[in-house]
Amino acid sequence: MSEPIVAARGLKKRFGAVVAADDVTVEIRPREIVGVIGANGAGKTTFVNMVTGYLKPDEGTIMFRGADITRLPPREVTRLGIHRSFQVAQLFPNLSVRDNILVALASAERTRPSLMAALRTRGSIARVEAILAKLGLQDDAARATTELPQGRRKLLDIALAMAGRSAVLLLDEPTSGISTGEKFPLMDLVLEAVVAEEAAVLFVEHDMELVERYAQRVIAFYEGRVIADGAPAEVLADPNVRRYVVGAELHRRPEGTKT
């Protein structure tokens, strides 16, 4: 088995009395597709936030290709090739769909954005058109992001995350708020792009059907701890996972109510 590309060891994070992460150890290997499951508040997003530098763990280390990235801010983690999408799409509502992607491409290209070169050139717009066409967003280029339906907003959010070359892509509930029929095409589209880039993916997901279908490995969180980590069939059959995660999913609130 190859060396892990991301190795988080013994992560601990408290928010007052709540332990959001307790001795979390997770490894992601190159080109792996990992599904993360767990009820609301199990610590999935906290984990993603710690890996990407948004939250600093109280204890533990995060290594990327052998280098310690525990204390790096999001912008430096991003520059290393660890990219993420958000549960609620994080877009620039004052810019067009095209400009959203142009900003992402420009950011990926240079650490210090150019002050005098034109952002919108024939070449850069052609690149955006290609990206939009791949995602089926070609007709939305000139639209405001606020006019997009939820599914397309999520797609655009992922497109922003993938504008640079990703080594690891962390998708926080990529299909939340999307109708059941749209979920599979979205995952197909995203994973196809990821595989083409040879990136590793970790996706947080509530829909077990989706996890079973796409994940090569599944990690289950419960109250800030990793309670299972392994092949999907194994993890989903685990009695603790069935009781605390899969069972909880059957009773969870409807889509979109989670904040």
Partner 1 sequence: MPRDLTLSFLAFALVGLLALGAVLPLWVVFLLTVAFAKALVVIGLVVMMRAGLVSFGQGLYYGLGAYAAGLMANFLGVTDAIALVVLGGAVSAVTGFALGFVMARYREIFFAMLSLALSMILYGILVRSSTLGSTDGFNLPSPTYFGLAAEGAAGRRVLYGLTVIVTIGVAMVLHRFVRSPAGVIGEAILTNEIRVEYLGTSVARVLHVTYVLGAVAAGLGGALVGLAAGHIDPDLAYWTTSGEFVFVAILSGTGHVAAPILGMVVFETIRTFAFQYLPYTWQMVVGIAMLAVILFLPSGLWSLFIRARYVKGRT
Instruction: Count Cβ atoms within 10 A of the Cβ of residue 30 and give its class: 0-12 exposed, 13-18 middle, 19 or more buried.
Output: middle
Residue from 11, 48, 62, 102 binding partner 1 (CB under 8 A): 102
Total interface residues for partner 1 by CB under 8 A: 41
Q: Does residue 120 bind partner 1 (CB under 8 A)?
A: yes
Least distance in Å: CB of 24 to partner 1? 21
Q: Does residue 132 bind partner 1 (CB under 8 A)?
A: no
Q: Does residue 103 bind partner 1 (CB under 8 A)?
A: yes
φ/ψ region of 197 (left if φ > 0, alpha if ψ in -120 to 50, else beta) reads: alpha
Q: Does residue 138 bind partner 1 (CB under 8 A)?
A: no
Q: In whole angstroms, how large is the CA radius of gyration of the chain?
A: 18
Coil, strand, or helix at residue 84? strand
Instruction: Count Cβ atoms within 10 A of the Cβ of residue 66 and give its class: 0-12 exposed, 13-18 middle, 19 or more buried.
Output: exposed
Q: Show the site string, 8-47: x = touches partner 1 by CB under 8 A, - = not.
A: ----------------------------------------
Task: Name the segment binding partner 1 (CB under 8 A); options: 4-12, 13-21, 59-67, 106-114.
Answer: 106-114
Tokens for 29?
């290997």
Q: Does residue 166 bind partner 1 (CB under 8 A)?
A: no
Rounded Cα distance, 183 and 191, in Å: 12
Residue from 41, 60, 164, 177 binding partner 1 (CB under 8 A): 164
Task: Name the segment binding partner 1 (CB under 8 A); options: 10-18, 74-82, 203-211, 238-246.
Answer: 74-82
Task: Name the segment binding partner 1 (CB under 8 A); options: 14-22, 36-44, 157-165, 205-213.
Answer: 157-165
Residue from 20, 36, 69, 91 binding partner 1 (CB under 8 A): 91
Tokens for 247?
């069972």
Mapping DSSP onto H, E and C, the string for 95-125 reads CEHHHHHHHHHHHHHCCCCCCCCCCCCHHHH
- 34 DSSP β-pair partners: 202, 217
Residue ranges that bind partner 1, judged by CB under 8 A = 52, 54, 73-75, 78-79, 83-84, 90-95, 99-100, 102-104, 106-120, 122, 125, 160-161, 163-164
